[in-house]
A and B are shown apart, each in its own frame.
Chain A
Amino acid sequence: MLAESLFILLGTVSVVAALGMLIARNPVTSALWLILTLFCVAGLYLTLSAEFIAVVQVLVYAGAIMVLFLFVIMLLNLGALPQLEKMDWKKALGFVLCVIVLSQLVFIVATSLQLMPATATVAEDAGAATTIAKTLFTRHMLDFEMIGVLLLVATVGALMLAKRKFA
């Protein structure tokens, strides 16, 4: 029950924050909204008892990548984007209502045709670091190594580009 209400709360906040990121006209404000979204997603992982993924989400995305984003945005000192066009509130409201009605219809049709996926049961230790490590270093070893090589290539490529500019 607690997990469910937390899920709804975090999901709503993350969607609202994502919208805020799109609507915000200032790049720094956009980045701050995105950070809020990332934190909410980390919270969603927590409700699925995947502590490791949640912490890594905060550590990598919020802690490293977004800091770099903010740093670059602030360094370039980007101006505010042009104002959004005046929104037609009637159209927006109509769109939201349409989405709600459509999802209700899809839900009813899907349940009557028994197309709804069964509620997945998560194993107790599915989110533990050891479980993830085991699958990562046995079954997905090749993918893991390939990502490593890919990142290395990207780093070398970035260095090459940076060097050429100043040479």
Chain B
Amino acid sequence: MDVPYWLLAIIAFGVINFMLISASVLVYAERKVSGYMQNRPGPNRVGPGGFLQPFADVFKLMFKEDIAPRSASSFVHSLAPAVMVVIAMTVPAMIPFARGVVIVDNGVTVLIILALTSVSVYGVTMAGWSSNSKFSLLGGLRSSAQMISYELSMGLAVVSVVLLAGSLSVVEIVEDQARGGAILGWNVFRNPLGALIFVITAFAETNRAPFDLPEAEQELVGGYHTEYSGMKFGMFFLAEYVNWFVASFVIATLFFGGYLLPFEPQILAAYPGLDGSVLLGLLQALTLLLKVSFFAFLFIWVRWTLPRFKYNQLMTIGWKVLLPTALVNVLLIALVVVLFMG
């Protein structure tokens, strides 16, 4: 792993820009898909098929006046959106995009992803508190309660993956899923319960419907970003979409084989020249993107299908259903690892 720093910097630059662009594409995708689900065309005026609509929106946000409430704590008020965006943009550094193409691999990358997820609640809490408004404060409170509740189950789901792979490094977890031929080595088949719990908690951690109580517009106006305008609001918007995209990346990487092609051992056996070639790397990156697109679509699909949970339902699901299930799952996986894989 002696990649020169300048190459890493170029990859990191590419990844950040890729994330920024895909956030716009996701906005377009969400509006278009939700439009079709509600039997209306969605954005279709700006550019071919309305494709340039999100870019137009970004320009609009940039030129809008930035208003801060007079009683807001101004420094924290400005810091909150920056925290959100920075944390959302940091997670992709830990994701391997193809074999050997990863920015950070220091042996504890899974933990770093978990830590970043749990720290990202500060953006919401700070925004909620510093705005000095009831709606924002309630949104921030809800968000921190929700994140604390679902973080535990998410951590336990990740623990089951770590147990199977025997490593805290994302790269090794992906490579571990290459065993078992074809696609049966993927963690979703070895650890289906963990995968289900992780997907549900990922929805909750990204504050996406049906877990979007922090910004339930009927009760809280805009939730924690009620008092934000202009590009600061834009940054919250961006962070939300990047978080959602990154969550899809993490789901695909931890549970669906990451960059591994389906039937990769068979393909490599049929075309031995492919091993270690650039073409294989490109195919792997494409595979990862396809998997991620599916989960990104799943996020939209769920959002426009399921109604929002009530607050008590949210807490019941988190503490009385997901947490015990996750604990039992960890115990089962640990027993399997000790008894059959030792």
Using a CB–CB cutoff of 8 Å, the interface residues on chain A facing chain B are 28-29, 32, 35, 51-52, 55-56, 58-59, 62-64, 67-68, 70-71, 74-75, 128-129
Assess the A74–B140 pair: CB atoms within 8 A.
yes
Interface membership of B177, Cβ < 8 A: no
CB nearest to A59 among chain B residues: B115
Assess the A64–B118 pair: CB atoms within 8 A.
yes
Using a CB–CB cutoff of 8 Å, the interface residues on chain B facing chain A are 73, 76, 106-108, 111-112, 114-115, 117-119, 121-122, 125-126, 128-129, 137, 140-141, 144-145, 147-148, 151, 168
- A52: chain B residues at CB < 8 Å are 107-108, 111, 168
Assess the B125–A63 pair: CB atoms within 8 A.
no
Assess the B115–A32 pair: CB atoms within 8 A.
no
Q: In the complex, A128→B114 CA distance in Å? A: 18
Our pick among A35, A58, A70 for the contact of B144 (Cβ within 8 Å) is A70
Q: In the complex, A62→B117 CA distance in Å? A: 11
Give chain B's interface secondary structure class: helix
CB nearest to A66 among chain B residues: B122
Question: A51-B106, A68-B148, A74-B141 are contacts. A28–B129 as well, Cβ < 8 Å?
Answer: yes
A-B contact count (CB 8 A): 66
Q: In the complex, A99→B341 CA distance in Å? A: 59
Assess the B108–A74 pair: CB atoms within 8 A.
no
- B115: chain A residues at CB < 8 Å are 55, 58-59, 62-63
Assess the B125–A74 pair: CB atoms within 8 A.
yes
Min CB gap B276→A, angstroms: 28
Closest 6 interchain pairs by CB?
A63-B118, A59-B115, A55-B111, A58-B115, A71-B144, A51-B108
Min CB gap B267→A, angstroms: 34
Assess the B140–A35 pair: CB atoms within 8 A.
no
Assess the B112–A55 pair: CB atoms within 8 A.
yes
Our pick among B73, B119, B145, B168 for the contact of A63 (Cβ within 8 Å) is B119
Min CB gap B11→A, angstroms: 21
Q: In the complex, A155→B20 CA distance in Å? A: 43
- Counting chain A CB atoms within 10 Å of each CB, which of B107, B137, B145 scores highest? B107
Q: In the complex, A86→B24 CA distance in Å? A: 52
Instruction: List 28 A–B pairs whose Cβ atoms lie within 8 Å, in order of A's numbering.
Output: A32-B126, A51-B106, A51-B108, A52-B108, A55-B115, A58-B115, A58-B119, A59-B114, A59-B118, A62-B118, A63-B117, A64-B118, A64-B148, A67-B118, A67-B121, A67-B122, A67-B125, A70-B125, A70-B144, A71-B145, A74-B125, A74-B128, A74-B129, A74-B140, A74-B141, A75-B141, A129-B107, A129-B108
- A67: chain B residues at CB < 8 Å are 118, 121-122, 125, 144, 147-148
Assess the A64–B151 pair: CB atoms within 8 A.
yes
Assess the B125–A56 pair: CB atoms within 8 A.
no
- B76: chain A residues at CB < 8 Å are 29, 32
- B112: chain A residues at CB < 8 Å are 55
Q: In the complex, A58→B141 CA distance in Å? A: 21
Q: In the complex, A7→B112 CA distance in Å? A: 21
Q: In the complex, A124→B106 CA distance in Å? A: 13
Q: In the complex, A28→B148 CA distance in Å? A: 18
- Counting chain B CB atoms within 10 Å of each CB, which of A52, A55, A70, A129 scores highest? A55
Q: In the complex, A52→B114 CA distance in Å? A: 13
Q: In the complex, A71→B118 CA distance in Å? A: 14
Question: A51-B108, A56-B111 are contacts. A71–B148 as well, Cβ < 8 Å?
Answer: yes
Q: In the complex, A41→B119 CA distance in Å? A: 15
Q: In the complex, A129→B168 CA distance in Å? A: 8
